[in-house]
């Protein structure tokens, strides 16, 4: 059953910054949708727009259908009723979101008192039950936020989001600043809650690896737009858009010497929403941009079964790439090879000896194996030549 459908959503702040530009998304009951992208790409603005939590003066257009009802067309009384009860949000930074001078149990009970016909005693009892539901003792309801650890505060935020039995939860970076052990516990808790209660989940994060492991589908945002969408594992492992591929490549692969000795990053910063570049907004940072990318805007297009990407290379017939792959996949491989050669040559020229000793084989062969044949041959040869030149020129 469809819980949320977003159609052509646009958000422009009072100063003229176009934070969200024509986003379309859907979330079904029991489905987990991940939103990824760098800071400033519009993820949090999109989340706040879904419940009309943006500051006054912000222009919002499009449709936000929650259980078939347009949130943007609701009266304020109806919006208040929908918040917490229909959809709730777990904000970034639990320490800043919780009130420092109120006990956490009272803060969990507040939405219950406002949205449910409950007595103060019944609300406090419900708050204790919710704390136990997220793995905390009910006695912690009497604690103040500063008396809890980071992971405990995050669990309190999740308990608060569940207080009025919403059907949709929006989690805005729920694991930020948590260590990996607590992060794993929070992620498993969220997965369990979605499965047990058949909730819809929108999870926002910078970490594609976390989203691919937790979510069913993944949408990558850049400059206020979704530039790629599809099954989470497929997008993470074989992204079609150069930006999504660069985000995925930024995470080192355990046991992969190529990613260890030839780290790849993405130069530059996301554009200013108030002064976006013409054409494809990613073209100033794109390693495979064409001349037309500077003038022609790119919209999402089919990139395979249940996959969409906003790139001029996606779906181009006959664009065979390394390994005989065509269309969107070959473009991704080309982008990876292009970034890999540049970074690998620099890194290997400086650390060739260390690479040979650590990997146990010539660095050029390691890169070739990691990238794969026949694209790996080209990368390996390029790296090998660079390493040879660097060694010959070294006194």
Indicate the Cα dihedral angle 124, 128, 130, 136, nearest 10°. Answer: 150
Task: Please indicate whether residue 77 or residue 372 has the higher confidence score (pLDDT).
Answer: 77
- Give the pLDDT confidence of 282-301 residue by residue, as tens digits: 999 998 999 999 999 999 99
Nearest of 154, 175, 26, 168 to residue 84 by alpha carbon: 168
Q: Using CA atoms, how far apart are residues 110 and 153, in angstroms rounded to an integer? A: 17
Query: Cβ distance 162 to 130 under 8 Å?
Result: yes
- Give the pLDDT confidence of 98-114 residue by residue, as tens digits: 999 999 999 999 999 99
Query: Cβ distance 170 to 90 under 8 Å?
Result: yes
Give Dmax over CA atoms of the chain in angstroms.
82
Q: If you average pLDDT over every residue of the chain, what do you get? A: 81
**pLDDT band of 263, cuts 50, 70, 90:** low
Name the least confident of 42-56, 226-240, 354-368. 354-368
**pLDDT band of 369, cuts 50, 70, 90:** very low
Name the least confident of 231-245, 260-274, 326-340. 326-340
pLDDT higher than 70, residue 375: no
Nearest of 241, 238, 360, 350 to residue 298 by alpha carbon: 241
pLDDT higher than 70, residue 361: no
3-state secondary structure 143-196: CCHHHCCHHHHHHHHHHHHCCCCCCEEEEECCCCCCCHHHHHHHHHHHHHHHHH
- Give the pLDDT confidence of 150-201 residue by residue, as tens digits: 889 999 999 999 999 999 999 998 887 678 888 888 888 888 888 888 899 9
Q: Which two tokens stand for residue 299?
A: 């919209």
- pLDDT score, position 248: 87
Q: Using CA atoms, how far apart are residues 72 and 78, in angstroms rounded to an integer? A: 11
Q: Which two tokens stand for residue 112?
A: 């219950």
- pLDDT score, position 354: 41
For the segment 263-271, the average pLDDT, to the nearest whole number, is 81
Domains in the chain, CATH or no CATH each = 2-232 (3.40.50.300), 238-393 (no CATH)
CA distances from 343 to 171, 246, 292, 338, 381 (A): 35, 12, 26, 9, 14
For the segment 37-53, the average pLDDT, to the nearest whole number, is 94
Q: How many CA atoms lie within 13 A of 159 on its CB side?
A: 32
Nearest of 211, 171, 173 to residue 50 by alpha carbon: 171
- pLDDT score, position 265: 72
For the segment 238-265, the average pLDDT, to the nearest whole number, is 80
Q: Using CA atoms, how far apart are residues 334 and 379, in angstroms rounded to an integer? A: 11
Q: Concatenated DSSP letters for 2-48? A: EEEEEEEEEEE-TTS-EEEEEEEEEEETT-EEEEE--TTSSHHHHHH
- pLDDT score, position 329: 36
* Global pTM value: 0.77
Q: Which two tokens stand for residue 333?
A: 């491989």
Q: Which two tokens stand for residue 392?
A: 């010959």
């Amino acid at each position: 059953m469809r819980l949320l459908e977003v159609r052509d959503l646009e958000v422009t702040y009072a100063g003229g910054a176009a934070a969200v530009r024509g986003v379309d998304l859907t979330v079904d009951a029991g489905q987990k949708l991940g939103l990824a992208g760098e800071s400033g790409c519009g993820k949090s603005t999109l989340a706040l727009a879904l419940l009309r939590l943006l500051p006054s003066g912000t222009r919002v257009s499009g449709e936000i259908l929650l259980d078939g009802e347009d949130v943007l067309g609701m009266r304020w009384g109806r919006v208040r009723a929908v918040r917490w009860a229909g959809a709730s949000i777990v904000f970034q930074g639990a320490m800043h979101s919780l009130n420092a001078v109120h006990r956490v149990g009272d803060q969990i009970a507040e939405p219950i008192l406002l949205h449910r016909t409950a007595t103060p005693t019944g609300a406090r009892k419900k708050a204790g039950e919710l704390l136990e539901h997220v793995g905390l003792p009910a006695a912690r309801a009497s604690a103040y936020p500063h008396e809890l650890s980071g992971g405990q505060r995050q669990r309190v935020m999740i308990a608060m989001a569940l207080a009025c039995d919403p059907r949709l939860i929006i989690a805005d970076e729920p694991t930020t600043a948590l260590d990996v052990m607590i992060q794993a516990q929070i992620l498993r808790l969220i997965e369990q809650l979605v499965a047990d209660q058949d909730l819809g989940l929108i999870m926002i994060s910078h970490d594609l690896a976390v989203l691919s492991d937790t979510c069913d589908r993944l949408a990558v945002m850049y400059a206020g737009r979704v530039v790629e969408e599809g099954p989470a594992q497929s997008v993470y492992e074989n992204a079609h858009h150069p930006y999504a591929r660069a985000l995925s490549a930024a995470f080192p692969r355990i046991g992969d010497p190529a990613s260890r000795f030839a780290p790849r990053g993405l130069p530059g910063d996301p554009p200013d929403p108030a002064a976006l570049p013409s054409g494809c907004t990613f073209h100033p940072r794109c390693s495979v941009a064409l001349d037309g990318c500077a003038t022609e805007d790119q919209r999402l297009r089919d990139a395979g079964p249940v996959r969409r990407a906003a790139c001029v290379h996606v779906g181009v017939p006959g664009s065979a790439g390394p390994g005989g792959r065509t269309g969107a996949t070959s473009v991704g491989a080309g982008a990876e090879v292009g970034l890999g050669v540049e970074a690998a040559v620099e890194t290997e020229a400086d650390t060739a000896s260390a690479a040979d000793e650590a990997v146990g084989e010539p660095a050029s062969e390691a890169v070739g194996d990691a990238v794969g044949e026949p694209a790996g041959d080209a990368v390996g040869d390029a790296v090998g030549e660079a390493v040879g030149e660097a060694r010959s020129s070294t006194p």
